[in-house]
Amino acid sequence: GSVGIAIVGLGGYALRQIMPAFAGAKHVHIAGLVSGNREKAEEVAAAYGLEDDQIYGYDNYADIAGDDRIDAVYIILPTGLHEKYTVDAFTAGKHVLCEKPMAMDPGECERMIAAGKRAGRRLMIGYRCHFEPFNLKAMEITKGGGLGPLRLIQTQHQYSVGEGVTPQNNWRFNRALAGGGPLEDYGIYGVQAALYLSGEMPTRISATQMLMPDDPRFTEIVPFIASQFTFPSGAAAQLTTGYNVDGLNRVDAWGSRHTLKMNRATAYSGQEMQLTGSGKDESLNPGDPSVQFAQMMDHFGQAVRDGSPILTGGEMGLRDTRLIEAIYRSADRERPVGIRPDGTMRRL
Ligand code: NAD
């Protein structure tokens, strides 16, 4: 049957992207809501045909243990809350789909993975691009040698945030809730793309950051960071991310013969992709990007129901959290760091 999922956190992403996408999913349905705002939760419940007894608060979250309608939870809270609500869900005997970034640091990720194993429950990270037709096509082309040997991947995930945000009024600018900054929130798409397009783990990372501690928006976070990955094949990736720079969501990959250019590369919709070089100039349109949300949730539902493998599990979230830690380490120390195959750092 279909897997019942309780949505934990009724913020922008939950309300505008995830909950509407359940209509296109076959293996999952919404079975509960967890919110600190009872009034909002009742409105949302009514809109989705849920009963009032399917609404939980953060104070009685543990009570989901006794609710057989709920097989799993989908954690869509600020990053700093992911570990707690994931571990508590496992304690309640539920499976967990958790939003990216997985958690604040590798230690938190390891505790989440361990809690899932102890409970015998599944853990997946909401890396939707693995279920999005343009990104799937791009992986097929780059890994299939369609560009010739890969030389360079460039990723840019950036926008310029308006005045008025502060660490107090927006969790993305608050270190305790967001970690270091746009790297975890948005730049993580570049980290992901560099790895899923190359099919390699970096052996070395070097990074440079811009700090703006006098700007009230950036008193706690690193507003801009650029990094370079070196892969065993000799290919390189250059990643930039920022909240203080004109907007762009781009992933480009150059091989010895051809280039793949992706614009709005990791967006919810509106992807564009071009294959150029050596006499080629094609626009590719492999499918509707908006299926990514339902496809991701169906992948989770099938894994919970059938025990099938999870493509974007906790180990991948841990790996990326390690690489993010290494990027910050390199920027802080102003020197490159070595990376082991599992993403942990080693001295060069
Ligand atoms: P948001 O600010 O819109 O929503 C956060 C929700 O958490 C709000 O409903 C807020 O009330 C609630 N919350 C509970 N406790 C809180 C606390 N102590 N401080 C602040 N808020 C608290 O954020 P969002 O954009 O919906 O992001 C939520 C999660 O989803 C994050 O992990 C984010 O990285 C992820 N996200 C993923 C994607 C994606 O494309 N995969 C897109 C957006 C957000």
Which tens digits make up the pLDDT trace of 107-160? 999 999 999 999 999 999 999 999 999 999 999 999 999 999 999 999 999 999
In a shared domain, residues 213 and 256: yes
Q: Say if CB 13 and CB 22 are below 8 A apart.
A: no
Confidence at 342, pLDDT banded by 50, 70, 90: very high
In a shared domain, residues 199 and 336: yes
Rounded to the nearest angstrom, the distance between the alpha carbon of 249 and the centre of ligand 1 is: 20
Nearest CA to ligand 1 atom 17: 78
In a shared domain, residues 101 and 75: yes
One-letter amino acid for residue 99 of the chain: E
- Catalytic residue numbers read 100, 189
Question: Does 161 fall in a domain?
Answer: yes
- Given 74, 92, 121, which residue is the final one in a domain? 121
- For residue 75 the two structure tokens come to 């954690």
Question: Does 309 fall in a domain?
Answer: no
Indicate the top mutation candidate among 34, 43, 171 to test ligand 1's pocket, ranked by most ligand atoms within 8 A of CB. Answer: 171
Question: Does 113 fall in a domain?
Answer: yes
Q: At what angle do helices 106-119 and 82-91 cross, to 10 degrees?
A: 10
CATH number (domain holding residue 239): 3.30.360.10
- Encode pLDDT of 171-229 as tens digits: 999 999 999 999 999 999 999 999 999 999 999 999 999 999 999 999 999 999 999 99
- Given 86, 102, 121, which residue is the final one in a domain? 121
Place of tokens 């009963």: 51
Cβ 77 under 6 angstroms from ligand 1: yes
Nearest CA to ligand 1 atom 2: 11
In a shared domain, residues 102 and 167: no
Structural domains of the chain, count: 2
Ligand 1 atom closest to the Cα of residue 15 is 26
Ligand 1 atom closest to the Cα of residue 268 is 40
pTM: 0.98
In a shared domain, residues 68 and 141: no
- Give the H/E segment covering residue 265: none
One-letter amino acid for residue 119 of the chain: A
Confidence at 345, pLDDT banded by 50, 70, 90: very high
Cβ 48 under 6 angstroms from ligand 1: no
Ligand 1 atom closest to the Cα of residue 13 is 26
Q: Which domain holds residue 342?
A: 129-287+321-346
- Encode pLDDT of 208-220 as tens digits: 999 999 999 999 9
Question: Does 78 fall in a domain?
Answer: yes
In a shared domain, residues 267 and 133: yes
